[in-house]
Structure 1
């Protein structure tokens, strides 16, 4: 049995689709933990077991992990969490205990690039995510952390600006090239690990996309695909801080994002070499054609 957390999110939802479509899943029971089962598509609910609740609840994870062979783990974002430890390791502690209690064999988690880089210890959310990986690994379960760069899909938060003003913003230098990946490729990497389960021990699986791209590169590709000029505007970190605070996010979480983006500009995502196994397939152009363009036109 495979247990999937966040089955209505960008990565968890796509992972569930992939598992249901893969012939290797036949004979494999799928169970999901979800706060609101109504958010699951009807076709999905008909083929999975549903445990209703939050996956930091002792009773919920005990019901969900009973008889589980593998778990897909993602600590959800929570803008009002008191601090970064609570958001990642704090949220995960109940599950970490339950992995051992129920003899879960394999766990695949969503994490970040950066381990071993000079800035890993001062990278805010990434630093906290790596500590969460260490917590899970300490339970003795076979664990693979999906080490991810910035998502292409983050641009969907800026669809209105791209559509109405031809502008997108980030905080990194305009010419700073770094790996970027599509969330659907992260889901595919998770599916492959969950269906195989021949692996042992702990480690990372990087999902780097097919090429490094700078914000200027993104602007050029978006301009070509959308058929209109799109430009990049670098946002100062102070303005970024003010924007996040305006969304009601707690001060420690805001600082965590500021520290993470500063670290990305200082090379946080540069520590893993791209190879055939780490070069996920979806190009930014393909993602723009298949995801961004329809969103802009909607």
Structure 2
């Protein structure tokens, strides 16, 4: 038995290390635009050459055409595109949104500036939706993904290990997530100034992100036992966190990593938090529904697991009482 345990440790530790390196290092090493939504605005004759230049980067950009600068700005504010190049009589103008992704904003500045320099012109850059001055690189928002995931994992594990079941477990998970949301909003918004949207919307987002993870942990554990804690922890920490695109953008990650990351709580929470904090809730429906489904299914699993255990106990009790009593032989 001791030999088997030794072999298991020797094999599993390198395997987990390799898996962690793959999950975290591979997307980071392959960061590049992939169908990145980008707008071009101006007369068709003036933007045709610009579109051809972007088309040379095959598969890098998804071009959206707009009539003028106002339409391009509106598209950026609605999170339809990450930026836009506007052709004007004075020369090209680049519209960016560093609040959507500082990494993408920098990438667009480099790409458009290089093209303009090759033509002998200069590019005027306007940050339509900028990151807060207290957090110009958006580090606070991207760094919030891991603590929220950890808070959810801890809350779900504690509820499970304390033996809370049914509606008591649901109440504990919900209240804990709400408190995490309030505390996190107080830190990120009120203290650090890294979030600038509606305070309560941000607190709700942070709380929902925590509940999505904690409910999944407690729900799966209620159905399959303590192993459920490890399964959700693996899914959230080894896949959800590196695949979230919080530090860059989903469209900069290798396919299908970017899309998969948005189906998991860390990616959905980062996208939703950007929307409610910097874009007045634009494009918030998708990630909000993703987190809600995780929370609802998790809490439903908590109640279902409790009901199955109660039914099992009732069946066992009925079976015991149905056994015939032994009567002495006269």
Greater fraction of residues in strand: 1
Global fold match (TM > 0.5) = no
Greater fraction of residues in helix: 2
Greater RCO structure (CA 8 Å; 6+ sep): 1
Q: Which has the larger radius of gyration?
A: 2
In the superposition, the TM-score normalised over structure 2's length comes to: 0.23
